């Protein structure tokens, strides 16, 4: 694999990582990201306001409800929920925020991105950890290649 971009490396070196938007439906993108992080040796924390347990672990209703330190937040929600997730993350001092996006808008909200930047946090906008956490499947290698060509993920 090519060198991991510094912003992605910093995000993936931050622990714990909260995954906002993990669903009660196991085939949702947030669930796949959660499982890949877990299977790659991380201890991701799921956030969903409508579930007490997801993917076999305790879930929390919001980023501000997660106990202990939070160093990274993966936003895999509807874009309309992203500003609320970002406000909670910034209030906790989170410095690593990643917005999921492959094609279309994904979880990216202009307001949420601006909230990050106004707080001095440069978010990762686009792509997902599945493009970097081994084993990277053929589909995510292709996504990484294609999204880099179209400037939709970090170089």
pLDDT over 70 percentage in the chain: 97
Structural domain includes residue 107: yes
Structural domain includes residue 154: no
Cis peptide leading into residue 121 (ω within 30°): no
Which of 22-26, 66-70, 87-91, 102-106 shows the lowest mean pLDDT across its residues? 102-106
Structural domain includes residue 50: yes
Q: What is the band of 1 on the pLDDT scale with cuts at 50, 70, 90?
A: very low
Domain residue limits at 109 = 6-149
Arithmetic mean of pLDDT over the chain = 92
Cβ–Cβ under 8 Å, residues 72 and 17: yes
Instruction: Encode pLDDT of 38-80 as tens digits.
Output: 999 998 999 999 999 999 999 999 999 999 999 999 999 999 9
The domain tally of the chain equals: 1
Structural domain includes residue 141: yes
The answer for residues whose C-beta is within 8 angstroms of residue 105's C-beta and 6 or more apart is 79
What CATH number does the domain containing 121 carry?
3.40.50.720
What pTM was estimated for this model as a whole? 0.92
């Amino acid at each position: 694999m090519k060198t991991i971009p510094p912003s992605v490396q910093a995000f993936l070196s931050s622990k714990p990582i909260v995954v906002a938007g993990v669903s009660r439906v196991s085939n949702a993108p947030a669930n796949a990201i959660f499982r890949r992080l877990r299977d790659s040796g991380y201890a991701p924390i799921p956030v969903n306001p409508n579930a007490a347990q997801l993917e076999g672990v305790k879930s929390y209703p919001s980023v501000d409800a997660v106990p202990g330190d939070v160093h990274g937040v993966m936003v895999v929600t509807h874009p309309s929920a992203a500003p609320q997730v970002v406000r909670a993350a910034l209030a906790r001092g989170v410095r690593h925020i990643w917005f999921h996006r492959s094609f279309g808008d994904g979880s990216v909200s202009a307001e949420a991105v601006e909230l990050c930047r106004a707080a001095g946090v440069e978010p990762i906008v686009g792509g997902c950890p599945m493009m970097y956490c081994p084993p990277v499947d053929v589909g995510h290698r292709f996504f990484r290649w294609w999204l880099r060509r179209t400037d939709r993920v970090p170089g």
